[in-house]
Structure 1
Amino acid sequence: MYIKKWGKKMGSKTKVGIAIAATGAAIWAGSKVISKPEKRPVKPFFEGEKPRVFAHRGGAHLAPENTMAAFRHAAELGVDGFEIDVRLTKDEILVVFHDRFIDRTTNGAGRIADYTLEELKEFDLGFHFRDLQGAQSYRGKGEKIVTLQELLEAYPDKLINIDMKEDPDTYEGSLLPSKLWRLIEKLGVEDRVLITSFYDEQIDRFSLYAQGRVVVGAGENEAKKAFSLFKSGFGHLYHPRADVLQIPTKYGILPLDSQTFIEFLTSLNIHVEYWTVNDVETMDRLLRYGAHGIITDRPDIAMQLIAHDES
């Protein structure tokens, strides 16, 4: 009797809301039936111990970023690999460098793309760097720009996480994916590099050459899609196009560091790595949640934490 009376009192808006909710539930249930989660194949890059520590630009708080001094120090700490950035010089050589311009990190000025490699080698990459004590301890110590080939050959036992920085709409950006693939193939390092970019288009271009032979990360749009489908309850509709999500702990106001999100991605064989994490409390929490890797400017802290957890 009560139900009948309640039904009569319902307004048209309430009835429409119930109908929409019922339709949504039906769509969700139907999608669960026709769509099955698609796991990524596990590539050799992921073999070995977890979690992994990647020194961000070689460990940018401990030595000048993307220099041999930084890579050498990080390697001595025992990191699993380096997270680096690559750009193209005027003579189309792949160099390990983050910014479009050289002003912030060298005693020079101008765009990377406007200099040849020989010209870039004249600049001091330790010029502006200050160490944890505030001293300019690397100025004038001979730290020069590093080519990607030099780095790959200098550390054959390290994993190299390569971020393609060039905008796909530029001349350099149009060449970068093919140049990168050719170098990887030439050196035979397919199993120890991870290729990513903020630009989904660059990852797609690179993948046309690599044809699944190299681990690729998610671009910004791919990462957004994964999180949106997970958060909306439609994670079963997500068909991943990347082997790794490398993400910050937050995107705007959205927290990306939930244990359930990590577990969702892990169930699809997608590895989850967080950048750029430099404090021990956040590192510890992410590792307890199941994160597969930490990208950090302070590899010394990360390695101490992992050693403590293993003891």
Structure 2
Amino acid sequence: MNKNKTIIFGHRGYPAKFAKNSLEGFRHAIKNGAEGVEFDVHLTKDGIPVVMHDEKVDRTTDGTGYIKDFTLKQLRQLHLTNGEPVPELQELFTLLDGQDILINLEFKTGIIHYEGIERTVLNLAKKYQFVHPIIYSSFDYITLKNCQELDPKQIYCYLTDQTVANSAKLIKENHFAGIHPGKFIASPEAITQRIWTVDDPDTAKKYFKHYVAGIFTNNYPMMLKLRDQVQG
């Protein structure tokens, strides 16, 4: 991949075609040219990291309730819309191991802070040989600070849907590697920003013209073609 170009991340895999956060979607993205993948991590009742966007299983499975109230065994009895069980993080890591693809792992702790999730995830990641360092992100400031205490050498980025008055200062003072905003941040200082969730072509073109570091999209093949049209 060309590091001078905006990196295109498959947001929860390839939701335009496959079930969100499904191994099927991630497997397709890995094999078919995605430059990066993004996904969300929670902990089960028995402390096992799993991949799903919402705190509750209602929207994307045939079950109801909070992930935190399911043991892994109970959770695995539910099914995504494609019939697969909710993926364990270790299953997705196994798919990504050794692949030339960027990884953005979001700690989904903005509403529920799972005790020990930072140590659990960071320790699990050490068991694999990823080609690129994982980009860790979260809306929860405390989660990122907990991670920095455990392993300050990793890449941590602050997720936000709010307007940030001085993003360069936020990044520098907190030793973050960048910021992941919901829309483009015009900054007098150069900042690393990866923007979510970009599915509108006209919006994407504007971001590509700014050469933002990355975008997260539900349709990565479309955005790859558009990016290359704009950036050459």
Q: Is TM-score (shorter-chain normalized) higher than 0.5?
A: yes
Q: Spell out, residue by residue over 1:285-310, the C-alpha distance to the aligned partner (whole angstroms, 9 max, x if none).
A: 10101211110111121112134346
CA separation of 1:122 and 1:63: change in aligned 2, threshold 3 A: same
CA RMSD of aligned residues (A): 2.8
Aligned match of 1:293 in 193, 214, 217? 214
* Residues 188-215 of structure 1 deviation map (CA, whole Å, 9 limit, x = unaligned): 549431111101010000111112x211
Q: Which residue of 2 aligns with 1:154?
A: 95
Correspondence list, 1:83-102, <5 A: 83-102=38-57
Structure 1 residues 186 and 168: alpha-carbon distance in aligned structure 2, compared to 1, 3 A threshold: farther
Aligned residues of 1:272 and 1:293 also touching (Cα < 8 A) = yes
Larger helix fraction of residues = 1
Mapping of residues 73-84 of structure 1, within 5 Å: 73-84=28-39
The one of 173, 176, 179 equivalent to 1:245 is: 179
Whole-angstrom distance in 1 between the partners of 2:171 and 2:218? 35
Gaps of 5+ in 2: none
Q: Which residue of 2 is the match for residue 175 of structure 1?
A: 116
Q: 1:122 to 1:246 in 2, by over 3 A?
A: same
1:55 matches 2:55: no
Residue 186 of structure 1 aligns to a residue whose secondary structure is coil
Q: Figure out how many residues of one structure are paired with residues of the other and give that number.
A: 230
Aligned twin of 1:68: 23
Counterparts in 2 of 1:56 and 1:237: CA distance versus 1, 3 Å: closer
Q: Deviations over 1:26-57 (max 9, x none)?
A: xxxxxxxxxxxxxxxxxxxx994532111111
CA contact (8 A) 2:118 2:143 kept: yes
Decide whether aligned partners of structure 1 residues 91 and 235 sit closer, same or farther in structure 2, where only a CA change above 3 A counts: closer
SS at match of 1:295: strand
Give the unaligned 5+ runs of structure 1: 1-45, 127-137, 250-255
**TM superposition score normalised by structure 1:** 0.67
Distance 1:49 1:235, change over 3 A: closer
> How many Å apart are 1:241 and its aligned residue?
2.3
